[in-house]
């Protein structure tokens, strides 16, 4: 009888483990991810370029060069919308692309990222969003992209998220670099 109880206990334990494994198994990974050709929505997310010191600073010369590099990188992307916070550094980062495309910069409120992410996901087009070190990776995550490691606030200005979303809502994302490599922090 004791052996029967032990066997029942082992069987119950194994059954419980199998059920737990099934309940927490990740969803199958799709074999095909959307590409630029399949995308209904294409999003480019960047942090502003290098900045001067102070409250609401302008871009530094390196930041202005980075803004030009971004315009060059996105030349031919057929942007339909440009979004930016209201700070000088984000507006200035978008300025070269505004000049190149003739599109206006639409302001967004970085304190309402979930609502903004929903808006971006609900409207087709090719969009650039210029934000900050503490919002760009957070927005990428809200959009379903892999945000990668947190953006280094002091030194990382060259990260470009490229996110494709197809008609079925399937998301493909990558992190690219543009312009001159960001300067590593000096200890």
Given this model, what pLDDT does residue 37 score?
Answer: 75
- % of the chain at pLDDT higher than 90: 74
Q: Residue 185: is its pLDDT beyond 70?
A: no
What whole-number percentage of the chain has pLDDT above 70?
79
Instruction: Output the pTM of the full model.
Output: 0.80
pLDDT in tens, 94-125: 999 999 999 999 999 999 999 999 999 999 99
Max Cα–Cα distance, the chain, nearest Å: 84
Tens digit of each residue's pLDDT (9 = 90 or more) over 37-56: 788 999 999 999 999 999 99
Tokens 């493909």 belong to 172
Question: In this predicted model, which residue has the larger pLDDT, 36 or 41?
Answer: 41
pLDDT, one tens digit per residue, over 22-34 is: 444 444 444 445 6
Q: How many other C-beta atoms lie within 10 A of the C-beta of residue 124?
A: 13
Choose among 104, 145, 128: nearest CA to 46.
Answer: 128
- The 10s digit of each residue's pLDDT in 72-84 is 999 999 999 999 9
What are the Cα distances from residue 133, in Å, to 27, 43, 48, 104, 107?
Answer: 31, 17, 8, 23, 17
Q: Are 144 and 45 in contact (CB under 8 A)?
A: no
Compute the distance between CA of residue 172 and CA of residue 160 in angstroms, rounded to an integer: 14
Tokens of residue 163, six digits: 């996110």
Radius of gyration of the chain (CA): 22
Strand segments (E) across the chain: 39-47, 81-84, 105-107, 125-131, 159-166, 171-177
pLDDT tens-digit map of 52-68:
999 999 999 999 999 99
Distance CA 121, CA 55 (A): 32
Is residue 187 over pLDDT 60? no
**Count of CA atoms in the C-beta half-sphere (13 A) of 127:** 27
């Amino acid at each position: 009888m004791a052996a029967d109880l032990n066997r029942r206990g082992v069987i119950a334990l194994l059954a419980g483990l199998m059920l737990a494994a099934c309940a927490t198994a990740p969803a199958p990974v799709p074999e095909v991810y959307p590409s630029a050709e399949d995308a209904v929505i294409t999003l480019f997310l960047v942090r502003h370029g290098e900045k001067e010191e102070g409250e609401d600073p302008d871009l530094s010369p390196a930041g202005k060069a980075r803004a030009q590099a971004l315009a060059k990188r996105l030349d031919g992307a057929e942007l339909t919308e440009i979004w930016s916070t209201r700070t000088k550094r984000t507006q200035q980062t978008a300025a070269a692309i505004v000049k190149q495309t003739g599109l206006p910069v639409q302001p967004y409120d970085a304190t309402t990222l979930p609502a903004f992410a929903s808006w971006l996901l609900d409207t087709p087009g090719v969009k650039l969003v210029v934000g900050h070190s503490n919002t760009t990776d957070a927005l990428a995550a809200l959009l379903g992209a892999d945000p990668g490691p947190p953006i280094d606030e002091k030194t990382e200005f060259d990260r470009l998220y490229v996110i494709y979303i197809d008609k079925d809502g399937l998301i493909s994302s990558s992190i690219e670099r543009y312009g001159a490599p960001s300067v590593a922090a000096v200890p």
